[in-house]
Amino acid sequence: MKALKWVLRVLPALYMAAIFIQSSLPSDHFVKLPDSNIDHTIKESLHLIEFAILYVLLVLAFLTFRRGEKAESSVASEGDRTVRNVTVAGFSFTPGWNLACALFAAFYGISDEIHQSFYPYRSASLFDLVKDFLGISVSYYFIRGALFKGKFAGLAKLLGRVRSVS
């Protein structure tokens, strides 16, 4: 289980590196379908999932960190003043961290479009960004519902299994 935890933690970085490398290559470098219309449609629709996958990988990585436990506090006196120390053991994946993962994926999408603009055989497009954000938003809806709203029981069970890896 320890190996799986570290694989899940490293996957987002590897995937981001793959996106970066792929963005600097011509769009037909890996695959070119015989029908150019189908080829273009498929490659354009991949924007809907490319950064959604990054967001999901980030969530999975964060879920492998140990769940938060109750905070421990101690009180000590130093002369005439009282010092309170609070120690929080562990980490808890909160709605705020979930949003941070989605925003990070979105900002990486923006940086990817900027990166593509420096290559003569690639282009940056606002429409591509909209597709990236839409994919992230749909994934965010389902993960937020499963983890924090009591919806999507199957997905919640799967994400709970990832949490138990920690």
Please give the average per-residue pLDDT across 1-10, as a whole number: 91
Please give the average per-residue pLDDT across 5-30, as a whole number: 86
d(CA 16, CA 24): 13
Residue 166 has pLDDT above 90, yes or no: no
Our CA angle for 69, 74, 79, nearest 5°, is 160
In terms of Cβ atoms closer than 10 Å to its own Cβ (0-12, 13-18, 19+), residue 14 is: exposed
Looking at residue 88, its pLDDT comes to 41
Q: What is the mean pLDDT of the chain?
A: 83
Please give the average per-residue pLDDT across 101-129, as a whole number: 90
Please give the average per-residue pLDDT across 114-125, as a whole number: 84
Percent of the chain, pLDDT > 70?
A: 75
More confident: 51 or 38: 51
Q: Residue 43 in 3-state DSSP?
A: helix
More confident: 55 or 41: 55
Looking at residue 85, its pLDDT comes to 43
Tokens describing residue 49: 């999932």
Looking at residue 87, its pLDDT comes to 41
Q: Cβ–Cβ contacts within 10 Å for residue 131, how many?
A: 20
d(CA 162, CA 166): 8
For 9, the domain range is: 2-163
- Number of domains making up the chain: 1
Residue 54 has pLDDT above 50, yes or no: yes
pTM for the predicted model, two decimal places = 0.79
DSSP letters spanning 60-111 = HHHHTSPPP---EEEEEEETTEEEEEEE--S----HHHHHHHHHHHHHHHHH
DSSP 122: -
Residue 15 has pLDDT above 80, yes or no: yes
For residue 117, what pLDDT band results from cuts at 50, 70 and 90?
confident
Min mean pLDDT across 1-10, 22-31, 125-134 is at: 22-31
Please give the average per-residue pLDDT across 17-33, as a whole number: 75
